[in-house]
Structure 1
Amino acid sequence: MPQLNPNPWFMILVISWLTLLLILFPKITSFTLFSNPEQKLLSMKTKSWTWPWS
């Protein structure tokens, strides 16, 4: 049964992971977010809610 032979499939697995880690991962992580949530939290000013019974 050839599907139990790990020789060709293991190399395909290793090459695909190396491609992902060495080429694609740095390209994906180089993108910056368009809306930085930390800046949004700092710039938000909250108003206290005025309750009608207080």
Structure 2
Amino acid sequence: MPQLNPNPWFLIMLASWLTFSLIIQPKLLAFTSTNSLSNKTHTPQKTSPWTWPWT
């Protein structure tokens, strides 16, 4: 059965894995996040109940 022959597919998988891990992944990991975390404490806003006009 030709599907079980790993000869051409193993080299394709190895080349794509090496391309991703050595070239693409370091470029993706080099990006910095534009939304940096801050040390601000979150204060909940005071909400007032909604007044329904029909009640």
Q: Percent identity?
A: 49
Task: State the partner residue of 1:43.
Answer: 40
Q: Which runs of 5+ in 1 are unaligned?
A: 50-54
Larger helix share, 1 or 2: 1
1:7 and 2:4 aligned: no
1:11-30 equivalences in 2 (<5 Å): 11-30=11-30
Alignment coverage as a number of residue pairs = 45
Tell me which stretches of 4 or more aligned residues in structure 1 moved more than 4 Å.
none
Q: TM-score, normalised by structure 1?
A: 0.69
Q: Which runs of 5+ in 2 are unaligned?
A: 47-55
Q: Secondary structure at the match of 1:43?
A: coil
Please give the per-residue CA displacement for 1:2-38, whole angstroms capped at 9, x wherever unaligned. 111001100111000000000000000000001023x
Report which of the two structures shows the higher radius of gyration computed on alpha carbons.
Answer: 2
What is the Cα-based RMSD across aligned positions, in Å? 1.7
